[in-house]
Structures are given as structure tokens and as C-alpha cells.
Structure 1
């Protein structure tokens, strides 16, 4: 069986692909503070609202955000628990960081 290649078309099924784009990471950062409308989310970017909506659609598809209507606005909320797959993946590498930090600490102590 040939290896599966992840493309932007697969971003809607893969949390890692969804967070790979810097605009989507910034959107998640903004939503981590509080919920926003598309208008508010689009403001800091030099992108159209439809472009922001496309990024939000990918985040919706992987479950990282939810959407609801409030009057005429679509509002978005973060669902950070869906980042657990990313967290588990990163945790397996933390032991390498701890070893290097411990070694750095020992080196700095020896230099004093």
C-alpha cells in the first residue's frame, strides 16, 4: 500500500494539517482569549472575509472551533480539547528537551 500523502485537501480531517497554516494558528490564538465574529477575526489580517471563512471551515471540520449565529453574525468559539492529539505527540519529545536543559544547567553551574 502506498504511503498516504497529506495535502491541503486533507486538512479537514487532520488536526496537524489544520494547524499547519499560520493564519489558522493565529485564529486559534484569538479564539483562546474569547469568542469572535468573522468580522472581528478578519480584522488583523490582510485577507478577505471569505478567505478567513475558508480557514474557519477547516478548523470547524476538525472540531477545533464551533460556530453559532447571534442575530446576523456568525460567532466562533475554540474547542481546545481537540488539540489533545497534538499535545500527546509533543509530549513524547519533552524528555529530549528536559535532558538538554539539565545538561545546560550543569554546564552553567560548572562555569560559575
Structure 2
């Protein structure tokens, strides 16, 4: 069960938390405009399950949907990943600096 959040960053990370959704997103990045049926044929899951995964990706802004007749075509939206990338960049910088300071402290302590 997924808890819906109003925070866009939370929605991105919630969507990326499931391996099937990450695989679907990767597929859509390499093949934009893939239909829901074509995408579903590539995964070992029931169509309603895959539809829920696509809906979660869509709610997070990670994919966009275009309806053409009876076909639903999906494309990855890389801009939505910028939220997660910015968060990771900030935290990476913090931890890198912290680990470097710890390393210097340990080196000094050995002298």
C-alpha cells in the first residue's frame, strides 16, 4: 500500500522505490512513445498492476501520457528526476565533506 504525499520529491522517490517502476521508466527513456500494451507485454505482471505502476509514475511527473484513439502512449519526463538529483547532490556534498573531515581527523589522531 502506498501512502500518497503532496510533496513532489516524496512522490518521485515513492515512484522510484519499486523495481518494476524503475524498469518501466528506463524502458520509456529508451523508447519514448511506447503504448501501455507494448510496455505491459515486456513485464511479467497483470495488466491492472502495470496500469497502477504507470499511474504512480504519472502522478510523480516521471512519465507523461498522450491518448491517441484507444492507445495510451507514454514518455519519460527526465525533468521530474531533477528534484531527486538536486536532493541527492546536496546530500552527497554533505556526506563527502563529512567523510573527508573524518578521514583527516583519523589521520591526525594516528600521529
Provide TM-score, normalisation by structure 1.
Answer: 0.72
1:36 lines up with 2:30 in the alignment? no
Change (3 A) 1:30 1:89: same
Task: Point out 4+ residue stretches in structure 1 off by more than 6 angstroms.
Answer: none
1:9 lines up with 2:7 in the alignment? no
Structure 2 gap segments, 5+ residues each: 101-111
Which residue among 3, 21, 26 is the counterpart of 2:23? 26
Equivalenced residues, count: 94
RMSD: 2.4
Structure 1 gap segments, 5+ residues each: 1-6, 101-112
The C-alpha deviation readout for 1:15-65, integer Å capped at 9, x for no partner, is 111110001101110110122111111122110111111001111111111
Greater RCO structure (CA 8 Å; 6+ sep): 2
